[in-house]
Amino acid sequence: MELLNESKINNNLNFSTRAIHILEDPKENYYKDIVAPINLTSTYLLDDLEVKENQYFYTRYDNQTRNILEYKLAALEDSKFCLTFSSGMSAISTTLLSLVKPNSIIISFDDIYSVTKKIFEQFFIEYNIKVIYFDFSEINSIEEFLNENLNENVSIIYLESPTNPLLKITDIKKIVSISKKLNNNVKIIFDNTFLSPYFYNPLNDGVDVVVHSLTKYINGHSDVIAGAIMTNNQELFYLIKRYRNMLGGALSPFDSYLIIRGLKTLALRMEKHQQNAMILADYLKKHPKVKKVLYPGLKEHKNHEIIKNYAKGFGGVISFELDLDNFKIKKFLSNLKLISNAVSLGGVESLICIPYFSTHKDVKDKEKIGITPNLVRLSVGIEEPQDLIQDLEIALNKC
C-alpha cells in the first residue's frame, strides 16, 4: 500500500458502503470492471534502468489487487496505512520483529493467542527480550502495575480485548493514557481480530498498531489464511513494510480477491454473529450442565460496562465452562451435528473447541489464568439460533 490521492477514499460513507465501493468504481478503471480484477502477475515491465518510487515491479512488494484490499481495510479501520500478510501470525511476528528493541521488555496481557505467546517465550527469549504478563482485566490495578513496570526499557505493550479464549476485557483508553505519560516511546499493539473494524477502531483511542487475523471475521468464510496491520504512523508503516518485504510474508493476489469479496458482507455478518452469540449465551447460562458463561455482552461479565465505553459491539465468540469430566465433554462434542469440533473462528459456520487440548495445548501454566480442561470456546456462526440451541441441547442431554 502506497500513498493515495485521498479524493478516492470517501470516509464519509457508511461502513458497508465503504467496504463495497472503495476503489471499485467502474468509472475509474479502464475496463469498467464492477468488481476488482485479480492481478496474478509476479513481475512487471520496467520503463527504465532502475525501479522508481511507487512503481509496481514485483508482487512481493506491491500488487494491484492486494493494494485495493489494503485501502479498503484502512478505510474500515479508520487508519491511514495498512499492510496485508500471508497469515495473521505473519502480521503479528513481522510487527513484533520490526518494533521490539534488543534486550528490551514487552508487557503483555496474560491471556492472548497461544502462538503469540510462543513467539514471546520460545523465540524472543533467545534474544534476551523479557516478557511481563499482567491481567489487564483487573482495571483498578492497571495504574499501579504500569507505574511499577513501565520504564524506558519497555518497547512494546501487547493487548487483546476481548482476549482469546477467556474473553477478558480491559480499559484501552486508560492503558494508552497512562502508558504514553510514563514512556512516550513505547509502542502499543492491539489485536482487534475478535471485534473486527465493524465493532471497534483502536487507533482512534491512541493505539500505535492494530493487527488482524483476516482469516477470521474479515474474510469470514474459513477459506483463506491471511493477516493485516493498520497504523496512522507513516514511519512505522514503512518500517513494518520493509520487514514484510524482507521476510516474504506478503499476501497472494488470489487470497486478496477472496477477502475483498468477503469483507463486503462484514457488517451484515457481524450483526448476525453477535445476535446469535447473545441468544446462545442466554441459553447456556441457564443450562444445568454449564458452570459459567464468559461473554462480554452479558451484563454479568465483570467488565461489560468497560467494553460498552469503547466498542459498538461484543463479537461472536462465547466461552463457557461445562460441569462435566473429560469423557463426557468428548461425548458432548461427538454428539454435535451442526457445530463442528474445529479450531479457528469468525466463519459463517459455528465452530467449537476445547482450548486446553487444542489452540492452547502448549501454553505453560494455562490453568493458572483459567484455561481449564472443561473450558469450551464457541465461535457462533450465522445459522438460525434455534437450530444451534437444539444442537447444543441434544448433545448436552446425551452427557
The answer to whether 191 is a known catalytic residue is yes
**One-letter amino acid for residue 141 of the chain:** S
Q: What is the dihedral of CA 161, 233, 141, 378, to 10 degrees?
A: 10
Closest C-alpha to 354, from 335, 326, 381, 382: 326
3-state helix, strand, coil in the chain (%, to 5): 40, 15, 45
Residues 257-266 as b/e (b if ≥16 CB within 10 A, e otherwise) read bbbbebbbbb
Per the CB < 8 A criterion, the answer to whether 73 and 226 are in contact is no
Element at 133 (helix H, strand E)? strand 130-134
The answer to whether 66 is a known catalytic residue is no
Per the CB < 8 A criterion, the answer to whether 302 and 170 are in contact is no
Q: Retrieve residue 152's grid coordinates.
A: 524506558
User: CA-to-CA distance for 186 and 155, rounded, in angstroms?
Assistant: 5
Q: Retrieve residue 326's grid coordinates.
A: 473429560
User: Which of 62, 191, 255, 391 is an active site residue?
Assistant: 191
**Strand locations in 136-272 (E):** 154-160, 187-191, 209-213, 227-231
User: Which of 44, 60, 238, 330 is an active site residue?
Assistant: 60
The answer to whether 60 is a known catalytic residue is yes
Per the CB < 8 A criterion, the answer to whether 67 and 1 are in contact is yes
**One-letter amino acid for residue 313 of the chain:** G
What's the full length of the chain, in residues?
A: 399
User: Which of 18, 66, 117, 216 is an active site residue?
Assistant: 216
Backbone region of residue 94 per phi and psi (left: phi > 0; alpha: psi in -120 to 50; beta: other values)? alpha
Residues 132-145 as b/e (b if ≥16 CB within 10 A, e otherwise) read ebbbbbeeeebeeb
Per the CB < 8 A criterion, the answer to whether 54 and 64 are in contact is no
User: Which of 113, 133, 257, 356 is an active site residue?
Assistant: 113
Catalytic residues: 60, 113, 191, 216
